[in-house]
């Protein structure tokens, strides 16, 4: 279910409809030669109920419907795989604890909060009941402790996506244990987890989570090259790495990622002021596009489409506030990856705060007619 919210009047009407009394009689539609009748709302076929709920498009309706009767509760508990409670402004923990045992087939659950409400008891209820969970968003859950991570490690071993950004109370010991149990993780957001995201934790992730494709380590300022180089060797499938604000890392981290992660598409280095030209030249040297001899001009001559030219290598690079970089090194990276753009229409090489890099330009600046064709082709689709 998505998080769309109908107008309050429509929502109230939906609530009233779904909370109809158990003995209320419904209309009996007749069809030529066929007669279908429902004695009351509780007699709705399971598939029809799930279809109606999905069309309403509001997860609050799912919760109300699950309380109409045991039949509806069981049907929704069996049929609902995606649920978001991020709309809940008050008493989210109580709501989670009351619902976890009903929705045991959940695969995707969002508990993102505007202000911290969720407590360990709520996460433990999820872990004890929702063993098929694949994706979980706990971002901004400031009240959670290590108990939550240990519970998830025991109860939800099939997790592939976990967002615990802003959960500053977690320790690296709990994260190490989680990685040992949830070995299918492909996307992990640790932004702001300053205690959990340590070099020790990254080494454990590298050892246990070889399928990892996306990792956000933004503002985890205790991380050093030791942790990042471990990731680069243990997680070769990484496609997106955010190291923004990781002020201790140096060129060694970028060199390791360039050498060990051939599918890397997005790299965030904002405010990593120890990064120098060596890191940029390493990225350029490991460009899959360059290694295949398929720069911009070569790809055009061979008849490759714009998508062919840009499907490999870096498509997003943030080097804002990396003030030690020089134009030739950054230009080498830009030339090596056709998907990196400085032009306003397709801005993917972020260099704000680096006044010395204003001369860096993408191929669009040299070949504006090509840029126009690319933009037009994108709009055509």
pLDDT at 53: 81
CATH superfamily, domain 82-290+313-356, is: Ribonuclease Inhibitor (3.80.10.10)
Dist CA 64 CA 53 (whole Å): 11
CA-based torsion, 341, 346, 350, 351: positive or negative: positive
Strand stretches in the chain, DSSP E:
30-31, 34-35, 82-84, 108-110, 135-137, 161-163, 187-189, 214-216, 240-242, 266-268, 316-318, 349-350
| Residue 108 C-alpha from the chain's centroid | 12
The better pLDDT of the pair 156, 50 is held by: 156
Least-confidence region, from 103-107, 160-164, 348-352, 361-365: 361-365
Mean of pLDDT values over 367-371? 52
The DSSP secondary-structure symbol of 41 reads G
CA-based torsion, 168, 174, 175, 178: positive or negative: negative
Q: What are phi and psi of 258, to 5 degrees?
A: -65, -40
Tokens of 76: 């929704």
Tokens of 18: 């779904």
Reported pTM: 0.83
pLDDT at 27: 43
Q: Are 229 and 255 in contact (CB under 8 A)?
A: no
Closest to 153 (Cα-Cα) out of 117, 196, 191? 196
For residue range 289-338, what is the model confidence (pLDDT) as tens digits?
445 544 444 444 444 555 555 677 999 999 999 999 999 999 999 999 99
Residues 6+ apart with CB under 8 A from 279: 251, 253, 254, 255, 258, 269
Strand stretches in 99-152, DSSP E:
108-110, 135-137
Dist CA 286 CA 312 (whole Å): 11
Q: Are 182 and 162 in contact (CB under 8 A)?
A: yes
The DSSP secondary-structure symbol of 195 reads T
The DSSP secondary-structure symbol of 306 reads H
The DSSP secondary-structure symbol of 107 reads S
Kindly state the greatest CA–CA separation across the chain. 81
At 215, is the secondary structure helix, strand, or coil?
A: strand
Tokens of 319: 């080097």
| Residue 374 C-alpha from the chain's centroid | 28
pLDDT at 40: 62
Confidence category of residue 370, pLDDT binned at 50, 70, 90: very low
Residue 89: is its pLDDT beyond 50? yes
pLDDT at 39: 53
Q: What are phi and psi of 194, to 5 degrees?
A: -70, -25
Confidence category of residue 69, pLDDT binned at 50, 70, 90: confident
Any idea which residue has 């809940």 for tokens? 88
Any idea which residue has 């992660």 for tokens? 261
Confidence category of residue 57, pLDDT binned at 50, 70, 90: confident
Q: Are 117 and 88 in contact (CB under 8 A)?
A: yes
Q: Please, where in the chain does CATH 3.80.10.10 lie? A: 82-290+313-356
Q: Which value, in Å, is the radius of gyration of the alpha carbons in the chain?
A: 26
Q: How deeply is 76 buried, as exposed, middle or buried, from its count of CB atoms within 10 A (0-12, 13-18, 19+)?
A: buried
pLDDT at 366: 67
For residue range 281-290, what is the model confidence (pLDDT) as tens digits?
999 999 854 4
Closest to 139 (Cα-Cα) out of 186, 81, 82, 190? 190
Q: pLDDT above 70 covers what percent of the chain?
A: 78
Dist CA 199 CA 222 (whole Å): 8
For residue range 327-361, what is the model confidence (pLDDT) as tens digits?
999 999 999 999 999 998 889 999 999 999 999 99
pLDDT at 368: 57
Q: Are 77 and 63 in contact (CB under 8 A)?
A: no
Neighbours of 353 (CB within 10 A): 13
For residue range 240-257, what is the model confidence (pLDDT) as tens digits?
999 999 999 999 999 999
Dist CA 351 CA 270 (whole Å): 9
Count H helices and E strands in the chain, helices first: 18, 12
């Amino acid at each position: 279910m998505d998080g769309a919210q109908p107008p309050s009047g429509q929502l109230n009407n939906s609530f009233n409809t779904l909370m109809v009394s158990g003995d209320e009689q419904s209309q009996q539609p007749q069809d030529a030669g066929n007669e279908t009748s429902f004695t009351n709302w509780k007699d709705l076929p399971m598939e029809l109920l799930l279809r109606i709920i999905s069309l309403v498009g509001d997860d609050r309706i799912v919760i109300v419907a699950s309380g109409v009767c045991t039949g509806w509760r069981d049907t929704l508990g069996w049929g609902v795989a995606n649920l978001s409670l991020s709309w809940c402004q008050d008493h989210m923990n109580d709501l989670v604890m009351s619902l976890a045992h009903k929705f045991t087939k959940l695969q995707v659950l969002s508990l993102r909060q505007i202000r911290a409400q969720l407590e360990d008891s709520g996460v433990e209820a999820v872990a004890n009941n929702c063993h098929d969970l694949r994706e979980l968003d706990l971002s901004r859950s400031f009240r959670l402790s290590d108990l939550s991570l240990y519970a998830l490690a025991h109860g939800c071993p099939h997790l592939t996506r976990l967002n615990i950004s802003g959960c500053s109370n977690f320790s690296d010991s709990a994260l190490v244990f989680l990685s040992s149990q949830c070995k299918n993780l492909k996307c992990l957001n640790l932004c702001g987890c300053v205690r959990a995201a340590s070099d020790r934790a990254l080494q454990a992730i590298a050892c246990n989570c070889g399928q990892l494709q996306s990792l956000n380590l933004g503002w985890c300022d205790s991380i050093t090259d030791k942790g990042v180089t471990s990731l680069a060797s243990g997680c070769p499938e990484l496609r997106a790495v955010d190291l923004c604000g990781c002020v201790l890392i140096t060129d060694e981290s970028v060199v390791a990622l360039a050498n060990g992660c051939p599918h890397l598409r997005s790299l965030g280095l904002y405010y990593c002021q120890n990064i120098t030209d060596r890191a940029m030249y390493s990225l350029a040297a490991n460009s899959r596009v360059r290694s295949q001899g398929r720069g911009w001009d070569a790809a055009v001559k061979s008849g490759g489409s714009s998508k062919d030219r840009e499907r490999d290598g870096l498509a997003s690079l943030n080097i804002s506030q990396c003030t030690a970089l020089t134009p030739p090194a950054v230009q080498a990276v830009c030339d090596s990856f056709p998907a990196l753009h400085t032009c306003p229409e397709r801005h993917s090489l972020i260099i704000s705060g680096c006044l010395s890099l204003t001369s860096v330009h993408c191929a669009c600046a040299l070949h504006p007619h090509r840029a126009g064709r690319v933009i037009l082709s994108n709009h055509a689709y």
